[in-house]
Amino acid sequence: MDGKPLLGSHKTIRGIIGSIAAGTLLSGFLGLPLIVGFCIGFFSMLGDSLSSFFKRRFELASGTAVPLLDQLFEGLFPLLFVKYYFSLNWALIIILLILFVPITHFGALFFKKEILPVPHEKDLRLVKSSTRFKAWRACHIALPPLQRYLNFENIIYYKWITAGFFKLINKYDIGVRNALDVRFRQIDLRFPDLPVSFDSYRILFLCDLHLDGLSGITERVIDIVSGIECDCCIIGGDIRAEMYGASFPATRQLRQIVKNIKAKDGVFGVLGNHDCIEIIPDLEDAGICMLVNDAYPLKRNGETVWLVGVDDPHYYRTHDLKSAFNEVPKDAFNIFIAHSPEAYRDAAQYMAHLYLCGHTHGGQVRLPFYDGPIITHSRAPRRMASGLWKYKEMYGYTSSGIGTSGVPIRFNCPGEVVLFSLKKSNSLNLS
């Protein structure tokens, strides 16, 4: 009613459900009734949401740390439940709340600084920036051990919890075999304003290769691409699996793939959130023209189609469309390439005709009874997490990728190598 957001942009339904589920499971480990853990998680999230509500009324930016307000209701509400459920006295509740506020506040600061450091601000950065210096640091073994070994998502969630679960139910090896079953897909895309000379133009799209993450994936890709003839090939980022350490094992395998690609106009690429900026010389030596906030004109019989590629819009947020479109005529047909679909609004403003991306892996692990990814790892709408989509007048395609991230398994979501064929027509169809 006051025109302000109800909650902050950091609050998600998945986060609330996940927190309540975590509280419920923890109560089981502690030998308490599940309803106790459920209520503690529920009231904690209720308090956290109330704090977010007040911060929006004070017009504070989402994610702004406000000592006491951030912790007060999140601690007070579940403690009130605990008091009445276990018949505790007020003195103990007050002591627990006094302890909860500073411990949670400084714990959150430590977590953000040491385990989940944010390498970017809200404003966009160019490649030559302190942002990319941190990206460079992340590519070296000198990365702080706490970031490497206590990272919740990469180590605890993926390598311990997720991999452990699938091994426990004896599905891990099946998931690995699924991950190696990369499919070849052909898609016709029809555009009324496509230059005549580019009718039936073929684009081979490889994304999220993660070549050093799963043995045998390189050989599978070579088997597919060696039998394909195309006009150009686009590599959509994330060459390697890890986000730290040497890139050479992945780039060495990529060289073998590029040698088997038959592309008349060459091979082009963009950086993903797993790729270091210092990997660019190796990729260019392999014969890949890297588009880092840059554009390249494809020419046929005096007509032109522009390839416009931007830096990673997901983790580093170094995508700079103003620089990328600097030389592209406003009425020119252009194909926009980014690692993830998260730059879709900006791309539409610059009148991109086709947006090619990946990053989401299509969910990688899907439920058999639900048509769509469970987790997208993307701030873009869920409908843009996989396959063909449209935003305003711009068409987009989000690839399920080739390799795997986190855990080398796939279920109900095979990897894919995609060959697009551009057609000049008044309608778009998918085949």
- Region of residue 193 (left: phi > 0; alpha: psi -120 to 50; beta: else): alpha
Report the alpha-carbon angle 284-289-291, nearest 5. 115
Q: What is the mean pLDDT of residues 315-337?
A: 94
> Has residue 165 got a pLDDT over 70?
yes
Q: What is the mean pLDDT of residues 142-149?
A: 54
Distances (CA, A) of 276 to 114, 251, 273, 280, 425: 20, 11, 8, 8, 40
Q: What is the mean pLDDT of residues 45-72?
A: 89
Amino acid identity of 172?
A: Y
**Residue 134 CB neighbour total at 10 angstroms:** 14
User: Which pLDDT value is given to residue 125?
Assistant: 36
> Within a 13 Å sphere around the CA of 271, how many CA atoms are in the beta-carbon half?
32
> Has residue 47 got a pLDDT over 80?
yes
**CA 43, CA 40: separation in Å to the nearest integer?**
5
DSSP string, 253-266: HHHHHHHT-EETT-
User: Which pLDDT value is given to residue 13?
Assistant: 87
> Has residue 186 got a pLDDT over 80?
yes
Amino acid identity of 226?
A: S
User: Which pLDDT value is given to residue 135?
Assistant: 55
pLDDT band at 119 (very low <50, low <70, confident <90, very high): very low
| Residue found under tokens 């309540």 | 20
Secondary element (H or E) of residue 408: none
Residue ranges covered by each domain of the chain: 13-115, 176-424
User: Which pLDDT value is given to residue 127?
Assistant: 43
C-alpha 181: how far from chain center: 22
> Has residue 222 got a pLDDT over 70?
yes
C-alpha 152: how far from chain center: 16
**Residue 395 CB neighbour total at 10 angstroms:** 18
For 90-231, strand residue ranges (E) read 183-191, 201-206, 229-230
pLDDT band at 89 (very low <50, low <70, confident <90, very high): very high
Name the DSSP class of 192: T
pTM, full prediction? 0.72
pLDDT band at 128 (very low <50, low <70, confident <90, very high): very low
For residues 404 and 213, the answer to whether their CB atoms sit within 8 Å is yes
Q: What is the pLDDT of residues 257-294, one digit of tens each?
A: 999 999 999 999 999 999 988 889 899 999 999 999 99
- Residue 167 CB partners (closer than 8 Å, separation 6+): none
User: Which pLDDT value is given to residue 126?
Assistant: 41
Q: What is the dihedral of CA 197, 344, 225, 231, to 10 degrees?
A: 10
User: Which pLDDT value is given to residue 154?
Assistant: 62
Q: What is the mean pLDDT of residues 239-247?
A: 82
pLDDT band at 118 (very low <50, low <70, confident <90, very high): very low
SS3 205: strand
Name the DSSP class of 155: I
Q: What is the mean pLDDT of residues 26-43?
A: 92
**CA 179, CA 401: separation in Å to the nearest integer?**
10
Nearest of 402, 396, 386 to residue 189 by alpha carbon: 396
For residues 67 and 105, the answer to whether their CB atoms sit within 8 Å is yes
Domain 176-424, CATH class in plain words: alpha beta
Q: What is the mean pLDDT of residues 20-38?
A: 91
**CA 414, CA 181: separation in Å to the nearest integer?**
7
User: Which pLDDT value is given to residue 11?
Assistant: 86
Q: What is the mean pLDDT of residues 202-221?
A: 96
> Has residue 60 got a pLDDT over 70?
yes
User: Which pLDDT value is given to residue 122?
Assistant: 37
